[in-house]
Structure 1
Amino acid sequence: MKFNIKDRFIKELPADPILENSRRQVLKACFSYVEPKKTAKPELLHVSDEMLTNLGLSEADSHSEHFLNVFTGNTVLENTKPYAMCYGGHQFGNWAGQLGDGRAINLFEIEHDNKSWVLQLKGAGETPYSRSGDGLAVLRSSVREYLCSEAMYHLGVPTTRALSIAITGDNVLRDMLYDGNSAYEKGAVVSRISPSFLRFGSYEIFSSRQDVESLKTLVDYTIKHHFSRLGAPSKETYIQFFAEVSQRTLEMIIHWQRVGFVHGVMNTDNMSILGLTIDYGPYGWLEDFSYGWTPNTTDIQHKRYRYGNQPNMGLWNLYQLANALYPLIEDAEPLETVLNQYKTDFDVESLKMMRSKLGLENEDELDKLLIQDLEDNLQLSETDMTIFFRNLSRFNKENPSEGLKIVADAFYVPTEISDKIRQEWNEWFQRYAKRLQNETLSDADRRIQMNTINPKYVLRNYMSQLAIDDADKGDYRLIDELYQLLKQPYTEQPKYEKWFAKRPDWAKHKAGCSMLSCSS
């Protein structure tokens, strides 16, 4: 197992001079050196074959004891120095000060096929940023992170990736629902992969401390290695950098809305500077189409991070990044221009995305109203988003009266479909059929097109929970089945048809299947 090590982050950025692994405020530094905690009896549960290839590794490598030890923290590769990153963040709208990698340790950076990757362990032990935590992770959260990051990639959503998941042989104490009922759970480690784990909070921490020198060093580093086409650092380059981060953030969130993904905890320390989905905690997929749904128990009262508010939260977070970058630009106007552009672009891109979900290629001035009325109808009764849009591809514009029958499987409680609701739907299908007459695609071609936009399979929380329950008993086959299924979320896959189904009744209120805490 050989890597082309390129540790640029620790070579080019300021390090914490204190080597002791103690909780503390870390000043004028982007990271602290820290080694992973050795595990008692590690065992690999699954390895992503795709990420092996991306990193220049073979399947044989993944079966070696060396691989197991490196990616569970028991061995530090020669000539590498693991580290935890320093950053701050706004959590639920409030400045939280220093946060940092509390349970993530970056092992090293590599280059392969002209691509750069940072290899990181999540759940590998405490760091100077762990605060009161132990820096460890448990099996349930690790299964969810491992499966989801790979599932999101295949859905076409910008995301960090995962290489492997392992149990550690250690027991970890967790209060899953923050209700005072702590219990020991199996410890686990996920190896996460990304071109960079820098987040908005990485820049906020320096700006909040008026450490403009370190801020400039980090921004210049980021542009040099991740936005190099923008050119040498200058005021204009910084503005362009912010504009591109804004654009990437918007693109990511539009994809979230398209597939019905709810992040659950869009704090600024969970926002990637590269516009990648990062930090899979209390996430979930929209089952009942509801703009007000959040999967996060911590957010249940105010629903700050609900599905319908994710675009606004992206903008709010970009405002905080703009404030952090202001000391390098000292001019608010160009930053405000970028933020205003986000609002304009969201309206345009959101409409374009919804048109694509409906199989509409041409533009029509009445499309906004058609889409608004559709979204209103979807909220008249509990309606499964994934099943509705997937089945809608079978709609025949010559036979609109069959529309309700085509999407009937998406309704959780068919008896809720009253005569009034049925009338609303039938009127909408008539308008949809009329609108499709203006399109050149045949029904068959439109179906093919829509099925590349609307997934058939997503990682519903109950599916993860079933895999977690089996894994807790030592059976890892369902992890692999879901991993294989979610590699092709837009393909029919008849042998996996059982996963194209509404959330079962037993999962509606079960912990882990609906609401999750930040420890999930």
Structure 2
Amino acid sequence: MKNLKINNRFTAELPADPNETNEVRQVANALFSYVNPTKPSNPQLIHASKSVAELVGISEDEIQSESFLNAFSGKEILPETRPYAMAYAGHQFGNWAGQLGDGRAINLTEVEHDNSFFTLQLKGAGKTPYSRTADGLAVLRSSIREYLCAEAMYYLGVPTTRSLSLMLSGDEVLRDILYNGNPAFEKGAIVCRVAPSFIRFGSFELLTSRNELKNLKQFVEYTIKYYFPEIKGDPKEQYVQFFQKVADTTREMILHWQRVGFVHGVMNTDNMSIHGITIDYGPYGWLENYDPNWTPNTTDSQYRRYRFGNQPQIAQWNLYQLANALYPLINEAKPLEDILESFINEFDSDYKTMFLSKLGLFTSTETDSELIANLEATLQLSETDMTIFFRNLSLIKKEDSIENTIAKIKDAFYIPEEITNTILENWTIWFSLYLKRLATEVLSDEDRATKMNRINPKYVLRNYMAQLSIDAADKGDFSLVDELYTLLQKPYDEQPEMEKWFAKRPDWARSKVGCSMLSCSS
């Protein structure tokens, strides 16, 4: 890969673990450990993103080369590089977990291309010093879900890591998919994911928890220098500005999650990027029926900490933990508290504007909050598909009757026969308010529909869709992976040839493993 420009700033400037044995252990006074990927026995390329390859300086021809296959399966090390795993800690489901680190991810290298920097990371490439009791490997089902979802999110306009490649390792991996004592062998796989960096909230938490304040200061200043060069002022001012930037980009990311109905499922602080991008696609999901209490994670089924409607509050809680980690450098609570206190207020204001845009309302009135609250309540009276509802809302004209409006969104109802009596009355009341509100908008029906259809996707990666591609891939058929990848590159376009994917979750998917809730098993 002749145009791949290596520039390993992270390992060149930050403290390394002096112990280079690949043994699970506590790693002190270091931000990473050198470790090589486990060599796969018979790697096979399933899919690669041409646009991501171009982003980092890899040509389309090189994707099909043996060197690409070997490098991004972990079989061979890229010249002039030393792979490494990062050390970090985190709060998991609200509880302090101590050292975590890259237990199944290995950073191959950093590259520079077109004045931008990227970290190339293999997920599922084998054991590291941070693997705890696990093997550091990944299976095909979770790898397909990660590969497709990161790219789907990118094309939806949601800040995210990217996916470069998806490969089979040729090896079998033992997993207990439901954590019920029935492990089975599955096909091993490796994803190469790409981001500006994989620095997390937990990266700073680890250093503060161990009172490694010299390393903390060095790491924060390193992060500002390379990723937030616009930040100026004395050191304390810079640290506060850094926290403000992270809060702002995190708020924007969560706003996009709520806009498209995405539920991350594992919003632990070790899964939160300082870049405000979505990372670590595990038991995620998109809302099928509009249910703010839904979480896709079986581990979270009792308390539903990471449910859809709680994501903004969890983001604020996680930022609070980052503030605690940065506090020793600032020694002043108020500027951090001010940012945290304003987070939800600013989110609520942005959420209202975003929600109105989903409704095709691009001005603001005093009754808008009531209109939104009324709709959110009505959507929950009977199972109503979020994606289909908002997409079909653009079909409504200002002069429509209430009967016509309900008819135009009826495909979103999972149980149409329930839309009678009280439920129908609630919809009638809401649509009467909505039509009055539409009449105040100056945009024509056509122009309004065009804007709405750039905000409300027609296609998202529903869990049952991903599972269908996984089932086919398990049999050696990767055509559905390619079809979904193509579909999800244009989620706002009509794509009439793909209309079969603009559909509610089928009944068979309600309880099928991988189609409703998922475990963290990979």
Per the alignment, in what secondary structure is the counterpart of residue 407 of structure 1? helix
1:426 alignment counterpart: 428
Matches of 1:185 and 1:279 in 2, distance apart? 21
**Residue 516 of structure 2 corresponds to which residue in structure 1?**
514
1:147-158 aligned within 5 A: 147-158=148-159
| 1:438 CA displacement | 1.1
Q: How big is each residue's C-alpha offset from its partner over 1:360-393, in whole Å with a ceiling of 9 and x where there is no partner?
A: 1111010000000000000000010000000000
Q: Which residue is 1:332 aligned to? A: 333
Equivalent residues of 1:403, 1:426 under 8 A apart: no
Question: Residue 351 of structure 1 aligns to which amino acid in structure 2?
Answer: K
Could you tell me which of 472, 494, 499 is aligned with 1:492? 494
Deviations 1:79-106 (A, max 9, x none): 1000000000000000000000000000
1:451 maps to which residue?
Answer: 453
Q: Does 1:404 align with 2:406?
A: yes
**Which amino acid in the other structure matches residue 344 of structure 1?**
N
For each residue in 1:266-290, what CA deviation from the matched residue of structure 2 results, as whole angstroms up to 9, or x when unmatched? 0000000100000000000000100
Partner-residue secondary structure (3-state), 1:229: coil
**Aligned length, in residue pairs:** 520
Q: Separation in 1 of the partners of 2:281 and 2:271?
A: 9
Hey, what's the Cα distance between the residues in 1 that align with 2:233 and 2:493? 44
Residue 355 (structure 1) aligns with: 356
Cα distance, 1:177 vs structure 2? 1.1
TM-score by length of 2: 0.99
The residue that corresponds to 1:182 in the other structure is 183
The RMSD of aligned alpha carbons is 0.7
- The aligned runs of 1:42-441 (5 Å cut-off) are 42-231=43-232, 234-401=235-402, 402-441=404-443
In 2, the alpha carbon distance for the partners of 1:233 and 1:217 equals 15
Aligned-partner Cα distance in 2 for 1:100–1:231: 30
Deviation of 1:16 after TM superposition, in Å, equals 0.3
Unaligned regions of 5+ residues in structure 2, if any? none
Runs (5+) with no aligned partner, structure 1: none
SS of equivalent residue, structure 1 residue 277: coil
CA deviations 1:424-454 (Å, max 9, x no partner) are 1011111101001111001111110100000
Q: Runs of at least 4 residues of structure 1 off by over 3 A?
A: none
What is the CA-CA distance between 1:21 and the residue it aligns to?
0.4
Residue 417 of structure 1 and its aligned partner are, at CA, apart by 1.2
Residue deviations 1:2-32, cap 9 Å, x none? Answer: 2110100000100000000000000010100
For the Cα contact (< 8 Å) 1:220–1:233, is it kept in 2? no
Structure 2 CA distance for partners of 1:506 and 1:242, relative to 1, 3 Å:
same
Please state whether the residue corresponding to 1:131 is helix, strand or coil: coil
CA contact (8 A) 1:354 1:371 kept: yes
Contact 1:123 1:189 in 2 (8 A): yes
SS at match of 2:173: strand
The CA distance in 1 between the partners of 2:179 and 2:299, in whole Å, is 9
Amino acid at match of 2:162: R
SS at 2:6's partner residue? coil
1-structure distance, mates of 2:138, 2:78:
22
**Partner amino acid, structure 2, of 1:88:** A
Could you tell me which amino acid in structure 2 is paired with residue 421 of structure 1?
I
1:181-200 residue CA offsets vs partner (Å, 9 max, x unmatched): 10000000000000010000
Q: How much has 1:233 moved relative to structure 2? A: 5.9
Q: Which residue of 2 aligns with 1:469?
A: 471
Aligned with 2:5: secondary structure? coil
Contact 1:102 1:129 in 2 (8 A): yes
Q: Distance in 1 between matches of 2:52 and 2:400?
A: 46
Q: Which whole-Å CA distance do the structure 2 matches of 1:210 and 1:231 have between them? A: 26
Q: What is the match of residue 442 of structure 1?
A: 444
**How far off is 1:400 after superposition?**
3.3
Taking the aligned partners of 1:519 and 1:225, their CA distance within structure 2 comes to 34
Equivalent residue number for residue 33 of structure 1: 34
Deviation at 1:262, TM superposition (A): 0.1
- The residue type equivalent to 1:417 in the other structure is I
Shift of 1:231: 2.5
SS of aligned partner of 1:420: helix
**DSSP-derived class of the 1:431 partner:** helix
Deviations 1:243-276 (A, max 9, x none): 1100100000000000000000000000001000
Percent pairwise identity: 62
Amino acid at match of 2:433: R
